Amino acid sequence: MSYFRTVLLVAAKDLRTELRSREQIVTLLFFALLVLVVFNFAFDFTIIDFVSLGGGILWVAFIFSGVLALGRSFQIEREQDRIQGILMAPVDRSAFYLGKVCATFLFMAAVEAVLVPVTVILFNFPFGPRVGAALLVLVLNTLGFAAVGTLFAAITTQTRRGELLLPLLLFPAAVPLALSAVRSTSHILAGRPFDRYSSWIALSGAYDLIFLTTAILLFDYVLDE
Amino acid sequence: MPARRGILDLAQTILFVIVLVLVPLCLYVVFAVVPTESRMGVVQRIFYFHVPSAICAFLGVGVCAGASALYLWKRDRRFDLLAHAGAELAVVFCSIVLISGPIWARPVWGVWWTGEARLTSTLVLWLIFVGYLVLRGSADNPDQAARWGAVVAIVGALDVPIIYKSVAWWRGLHPRVLKATGGQGLDPTMERALMLCMLTFVLLFTYLIIQRCRLGRLQDDVQALVHAARRGSLPAART
């Protein structure tokens, strides 16, 4: 049981730190909003249909702010030199990994929770009655992104070119998630039936399972001994 | 040690001689012996380099991933050298595939690039292993480079089939064009030429990977000497 307790403690620590300073969440939100605004100017939505582009725009905003969240997630540990304490703790290091994944997931979820209504307003678009499916898409894809991203961020934040390396490694690895997320969201925005995108959701679920497991197994090798 | 090194040297020399013979033979067969393809014309001959290069790229990825897993398990430096060599060759051969492909595609399909599954996933594979090499270069010490590289290689290799599937669902496969040259009534001369080229490329790959591993080992030796020199414990020079 102490494994799960550790996971919750790590996640709670990150959340509590953030609730006190609120600096990270505000940065993430504004960055994601700016991405949306840029897209608002980038395409002429009187001519182009938002339905076909909306999924892509949303997920670009989520992914870019997600990369920021990931980088920051480990940077703060390094700043306070807390890594030593973590390495000395008598718990499996993967518990620390899962705690970080939870925290990152929650930060990204917070951004998404704000951004989706804003998108509806900014682009004048109803998200439709498929809230349950939309939530499933958001949760599964954000989780997968947080899972692989946390593993890579743990590595790249230990290097000098970390900020460049994280997207370089993460974006190609997260291609299936990006595809699944954008396709599912596009189908939802277009109001298409669930079985049109159920296989994409299954793909995301499988991806999450495979890479969470892999990362849990591999995380031991990531932090310096 | 000297006896084992002797055998490896011999094997490598034999391999080198074989490759030295096969490569010109291959070139001769591809340009002088094989008939010109009826539909695509002369540009189709790229096929004899493009397909074996793709095989070698995937071979490199497999070697890298396998050696990475073995390294994490056994912590033997030799596995790490093999993984690094495999990744470098994978990037090289993948680059050949990505360059030769569009050169072939333009006259035949009319476009340099399509968003098709095989093309896109090859590009993403290339990106993953370029990232692997950049990451290794950014590590502060060989142990870090080895561990991190291994993690990225394993994740990357696991990801490749998933990427392929997801892009295939998204774009659909180009069924006719790619298969037409591969399966459908390939002229026996062409088939034999392709087999010859495959053999040549795979042997070349093997030779290159052995060379690269030995180079890595030499680099390690140099580093060890540098460290020893800094500590002042350099072995006395032979006169």
CA-based nearest residue in chain B for residue A214: B155
Domains held by chain B: number: 1
Which of B5-9, B28-32, B41-45, B221-225 is predicted with the least confidence, judged by mean pLDDT? B5-9
The label of the residue with tokens 């591993």 reads B213
Q: At residue A224, what are phi and psi to the nearest 5 degrees? A: -60, 145
User: Which of the residues A94, A155, A182, A212 would you substitute to probe the B interface, choosing the one with the greatest number of B C-beta atoms within 10 Å?
Assistant: A155
Does the pLDDT of residue B176 top 50, yes or no?
A: no
Whats the size of chain B, residue-wise?
Answer: 239
Does the pLDDT of residue B3 top 60, yes or no?
A: no
Looking at residue A87, its amino acid is L
The label of the residue with tokens 């001994």 reads A225
B51 and B194 in contact (C-beta within 8 Å)?
A: yes
- What's the distance, Cα to Cα, between the start and end of chain A in Å? 25
Chain A residue set in contact with B, beta carbons under 8 Å = 148, 151-152, 155-156, 158-161, 165, 168-169, 171-173, 175-176, 179-180, 183, 199-200, 203, 206-207, 210-211, 214-215, 218, 221-222, 224
**Alpha helices (H) in chain A, listed in sequence order:** 2-21, 23-42, 50-79, 83-88, 93-122, 131-156, 162-173, 175-189, 198-218
Q: What is the ipTM of this complex?
A: 0.89
Q: Give the long-range contacts of residues A43-49, CB within 8 A, separation 24 or more.
A: A45/A123
What's the token pair of residue B70? 């073995």
pLDDT band for position B113 (cuts 50, 70, 90): confident
Is the overall model pTM greater than 0.80, yes or no?
A: yes
Residue A42 or residue B4, greater confidence: A42
Does the pLDDT of residue B11 top 60, yes or no?
A: yes
CA pseudo-torsion sign B183, B186, B189, B190: negative
Does the pLDDT of residue A193 top 80, yes or no?
A: yes
Does the pLDDT of residue A61 top 90, yes or no?
A: yes
Report the distance separating Cα A127 and Cα A112, nearest Å.
13
- Domain-embedded: residue B100: yes
User: CB of B72 within 8 Å of any CB in chain A?
Assistant: yes
Closest Cβ–Cβ partner in B140, B159, B170 for A173: B159
Report the distance separating Cα B222 and Cα A40, nearest Å.
56
B90 and B149 in contact (C-beta within 8 Å)?
A: no
Per-residue confidence (pLDDT) for residue B179, from 0 to 100: 41
A93 and A219 in contact (C-beta within 8 Å)?
A: yes
3-state secondary structure of A200: helix
For residue B45, what are the domain limits?
A: 41-209
Per-residue confidence (pLDDT) for residue B177, from 0 to 100: 43
A171 and A181 in contact (C-beta within 8 Å)?
A: no
User: CB of B90 within 8 Å of any CB in chain A?
Assistant: no
Question: Strands, DSSP E only, in chain B?
Answer: none
